[in-house]
Amino acid sequence: MNRSTQNLKQDHVIARRIRDITQACSDKLYANVDIPLEDIEIISVVIEEFVDKFHHGKEEQAYFPQTKYKNGFGEDIRKFLIEHELGRRIAKMLLKELKGWKKGGNNLRREPVARFLKSYAVFITDHTEKEDNFFDLVEENHSISDEEDEMLMRHYENCKNNVGGKERIEQMLKLVEYLENREWMKNEL
């Protein structure tokens, strides 16, 4: 079992928590529940910093290049990179609509924000499931040597430093917890 692979799988656990928040936020917006726009901004920040820059950064800069030419994984990795770009585009559209809603105070922006939150939740569900299956194959095939695993773990530390270090990652996790404990998250529809 590779620490580098398990590390990415652990990120997926957090990504699924973010997914649950985005899905609940979308559902509540569609039900006309008032959600503070600041909370939706926090969701957007967590998506950008934790999921995209930190987690996808580790995959794109280290893990995928290391596994690309092993066991015929090249095509899978190409698809994952395309999916990462899809996630980025959904997140950008969400942020654009959210900024418009904030600036104009126009409730017509509610639906596009809800739609992009839902789209992102669907993306996370589908994407993390496929990647987890891929990670299982990497481990089953023993595609990463102990030396490569150590090198990947060192690279992950660099990725962490690129997003603000351990403290910033801890802040992201606290923001996820903060969102999970918001009143609108706790209330059932």
> Which pLDDT does position 157 carry in this prediction?
93
pLDDT given at position 189 = 73
SS3 of the chain? CCHHHHHHHHHHHHHHHHHHHHHHHHHHHHCCCCCCHHHHHHHHHHHHHHHHHHHHHHHHHHHHHHHCCCCCCHHHHHHHHHHHHHHHHHHHHHHHHHHHHHHHCCHHHHHHHHHHHHHHHHHHHHHHHHHHHHHHHHHHCCCCCHHHHHHHHHHHHHHHHHCCHHHHHHHHHHHHHHHHCCHHHHCCC
Give every residue of the chain whose pLDDT is below 50, as ranges: none
Query: Domains plus CATH for the chain?
Result: 3-186 (1.20.120.520)
**Residue-level pLDDT at 87:** 98
- Residue 107 pLDDT: 73
